[in-house]
Structure 1
Protein backbone atom coordinates (compact mmCIF):
# COMPACT_ATOMS: atom_id res chain seq x y z
CA UNK A 1 0.00 0.00 0.00
CA UNK A 2 1.44 3.41 -0.93
CA UNK A 3 2.34 5.86 1.78
CA UNK A 4 0.37 9.04 2.36
CA UNK A 5 3.24 11.06 0.88
CA UNK A 6 3.22 8.92 -2.27
CA UNK A 7 -0.54 9.32 -2.59
CA UNK A 8 -0.27 13.10 -2.20
CA UNK A 9 2.47 13.14 -4.84
CA UNK A 10 0.30 11.12 -7.19
CA UNK A 11 -2.62 13.49 -6.61
CA UNK A 12 -0.39 16.47 -7.42
CA UNK A 13 0.74 14.81 -10.65
CA UNK A 14 -2.88 14.06 -11.61
CA UNK A 15 -3.83 17.69 -11.03
CA UNK A 16 -0.84 18.93 -13.06
CA UNK A 17 -1.73 16.79 -16.08
CA UNK A 18 -5.43 17.62 -15.82
CA UNK A 19 -4.45 21.29 -16.10
CA UNK A 20 -2.17 20.57 -19.07
CA UNK A 21 -4.89 18.60 -20.86
CA UNK A 22 -7.48 21.32 -20.27
CA UNK A 23 -5.14 24.03 -21.57
CA UNK A 24 -4.35 22.03 -24.72
CA UNK A 25 -8.04 21.28 -25.19
CA UNK A 26 -8.80 25.01 -25.16
CA UNK A 27 -6.09 25.62 -27.78
CA UNK A 28 -7.45 22.91 -30.08
CA UNK A 29 -11.15 23.58 -29.57
CA UNK A 30 -11.64 25.37 -32.90
CA UNK A 31 -8.90 23.83 -35.02
CA UNK A 32 -9.34 20.14 -34.09
CA UNK A 33 -12.58 19.53 -32.19
CA UNK A 34 -12.20 15.73 -32.23
CA UNK A 35 -8.81 15.87 -30.57
CA UNK A 36 -10.12 18.47 -28.12
CA UNK A 37 -12.96 16.10 -27.20
CA UNK A 38 -10.51 13.24 -26.73
CA UNK A 39 -8.35 15.39 -24.44
CA UNK A 40 -11.46 16.34 -22.49
CA UNK A 41 -12.35 12.68 -22.03
CA UNK A 42 -8.86 11.83 -20.83
CA UNK A 43 -8.94 14.78 -18.42
CA UNK A 44 -12.29 13.59 -17.04
CA UNK A 45 -10.92 10.10 -16.40
CA UNK A 46 -7.93 11.59 -14.59
CA UNK A 47 -10.23 13.92 -12.66
CA UNK A 48 -12.37 11.00 -11.48
CA UNK A 49 -9.29 9.10 -10.38
CA UNK A 50 -7.95 12.21 -8.63
CA UNK A 51 -11.23 12.59 -6.72
CA UNK A 52 -11.07 8.97 -5.60
CA UNK A 53 -7.46 9.45 -4.57
CA UNK A 54 -8.31 12.61 -2.63
CA UNK A 55 -11.08 10.75 -0.78
CA UNK A 56 -8.71 7.92 0.08
CA UNK A 57 -6.13 10.42 1.34
CA UNK A 58 -8.75 12.12 3.51
CA UNK A 59 -9.82 8.78 4.97
CA UNK A 60 -6.26 7.78 5.77
CA UNK A 61 -5.55 11.17 7.35
CA UNK A 62 -8.63 10.76 9.56
CA UNK A 63 -7.51 7.27 10.55
CA UNK A 64 -4.12 8.62 11.63
CA UNK A 65 -5.72 11.07 14.07
Structure 2
Protein backbone atom coordinates (compact mmCIF):
# COMPACT_ATOMS: atom_id res chain seq x y z
CA UNK A 1 0.00 0.00 0.00
CA UNK A 2 1.38 3.44 -0.88
CA UNK A 3 2.36 5.80 1.88
CA UNK A 4 0.29 8.84 2.81
CA UNK A 5 2.90 11.11 1.20
CA UNK A 6 2.75 9.13 -2.04
CA UNK A 7 -1.03 9.29 -2.08
CA UNK A 8 -1.00 13.05 -1.47
CA UNK A 9 1.54 13.44 -4.28
CA UNK A 10 -0.65 11.41 -6.60
CA UNK A 11 -3.65 13.53 -5.65
CA UNK A 12 -1.71 16.71 -6.45
CA UNK A 13 -0.58 15.32 -9.83
CA UNK A 14 -4.14 14.30 -10.72
CA UNK A 15 -5.43 17.77 -9.86
CA UNK A 16 -2.65 19.41 -11.91
CA UNK A 17 -3.47 17.37 -15.02
CA UNK A 18 -7.20 17.86 -14.61
CA UNK A 19 -6.54 21.60 -14.74
CA UNK A 20 -4.40 21.18 -17.87
CA UNK A 21 -7.07 19.06 -19.57
CA UNK A 22 -9.83 21.55 -18.74
CA UNK A 23 -7.75 24.46 -20.08
CA UNK A 24 -6.98 22.62 -23.33
CA UNK A 25 -10.61 21.59 -23.64
CA UNK A 26 -11.68 25.23 -23.45
CA UNK A 27 -9.18 26.13 -26.19
CA UNK A 28 -10.41 23.37 -28.50
CA UNK A 29 -14.13 23.74 -27.89
CA UNK A 30 -14.82 25.72 -31.09
CA UNK A 31 -12.19 24.25 -33.41
CA UNK A 32 -12.44 20.55 -32.50
CA UNK A 33 -15.50 19.73 -30.38
CA UNK A 34 -14.92 15.96 -30.56
CA UNK A 35 -11.43 16.28 -29.10
CA UNK A 36 -12.73 18.74 -26.52
CA UNK A 37 -15.35 16.16 -25.49
CA UNK A 38 -12.70 13.46 -25.25
CA UNK A 39 -10.57 15.68 -23.01
CA UNK A 40 -13.63 16.36 -20.87
CA UNK A 41 -14.24 12.62 -20.51
CA UNK A 42 -10.62 12.01 -19.47
CA UNK A 43 -10.77 14.88 -16.98
CA UNK A 44 -13.99 13.46 -15.56
CA UNK A 45 -12.43 10.01 -15.12
CA UNK A 46 -9.46 11.56 -13.34
CA UNK A 47 -11.82 13.61 -11.18
CA UNK A 48 -13.58 10.44 -10.07
CA UNK A 49 -10.21 8.95 -9.15
CA UNK A 50 -9.38 12.12 -7.19
CA UNK A 51 -12.50 11.57 -5.08
CA UNK A 52 -11.43 7.99 -4.36
CA UNK A 53 -7.90 9.10 -3.47
CA UNK A 54 -9.18 11.86 -1.22
CA UNK A 55 -11.41 9.36 0.60
CA UNK A 56 -8.50 6.95 1.06
CA UNK A 57 -6.29 9.76 2.35
CA UNK A 58 -8.98 10.88 4.79
CA UNK A 59 -9.35 7.31 6.02
CA UNK A 60 -5.59 6.96 6.56
CA UNK A 61 -5.42 10.28 8.43
CA UNK A 62 -8.39 9.26 10.60
CA UNK A 63 -6.75 5.94 11.49
CA UNK A 64 -3.60 7.65 12.78
- TM-score relative to the length of structure 2: 0.99
Residue in 2 that maps onto 1:59: 59
- TM-score relative to the length of structure 1: 0.98
Question: Cα RMSD between the aligned structures?
Answer: 0.2
CA distance in 1: counterparts of 2:36 and 2:25, whole angstroms: 5
CA distance in 1: counterparts of 2:17 and 2:40, whole angstroms: 12
5+ residue gaps, structure 1, are none
Residue in 2 that maps onto 1:9: 9
Encode CA deviations 1:1-50: one digit per residue, 9 max, x unaligned: 00000000000000000000000000000000000000000000000001
Runs of 4+ in 1 over 6 A off after TM superposition: none
